[in-house]
Amino acid sequence: MKKHSLLLSDIRRKLLTLLLLGGLFSANAVAADKYSVERFGTNEGLSQNAVMYINQDKKGYLWIATWDGLNKFDGSRFSVYKSNATSRSSLLNNRINSFSIAKNGYLWVSTYDNRIYRFNPNTEIFQDIPHSLPEYKNLNIKF
């Protein structure tokens, strides 16, 4: 009797596995019909095709770090943030290595020249964080 019970248990396990796998494959087929892939590059407004990092904020914007500025994508168009020699509230270097999005929505941006900036998306202003500030060592930013 035990052997018969074990055989039924094994059959049930295999049947359940097949049903789950079949469900996964059919779910993937349905999902493939719902999504499409679009490619965006410099022709569509991205500042450079060499993308270093991508992240999405709470508002749904995609933020893209390139070696030619910080890009924000709203789903249809790009806004590009670059250095501006006439502005004290911009980047000094366009080569963005990475960034982190804080809970308050600020972006902490790391550039190729080892500088850290705090970017306020509401005012679109970069604040350079000097290495000499005590707060710099306590930033606890994960890039």
Q: How confident is the model at residue 4 (pLDDT cuts 50, 70, 90)?
A: very low
Report pTM.
Answer: 0.69
Residue 51 CB coordination number (10 Å): 16
List of E strands, the chain: 51-56, 62-66, 69-73, 78-81, 96-101, 107-111, 116-120, 125-129
Give per-residue pLDDT as tens, 86-133. Answer: 887 889 899 999 999 999 999 999 999 989 999 999 999 999 988 766
Residues shown for the chain = 143
* Contacts with 44 (C-beta within 8 Å, 6 or more apart), sequence order: 78
Please tell me the distance from the alpha carbon of residue 141 to that of residue 129, in angstroms, as a whole number: 13
Q: What pLDDT score does 136 carry?
A: 60
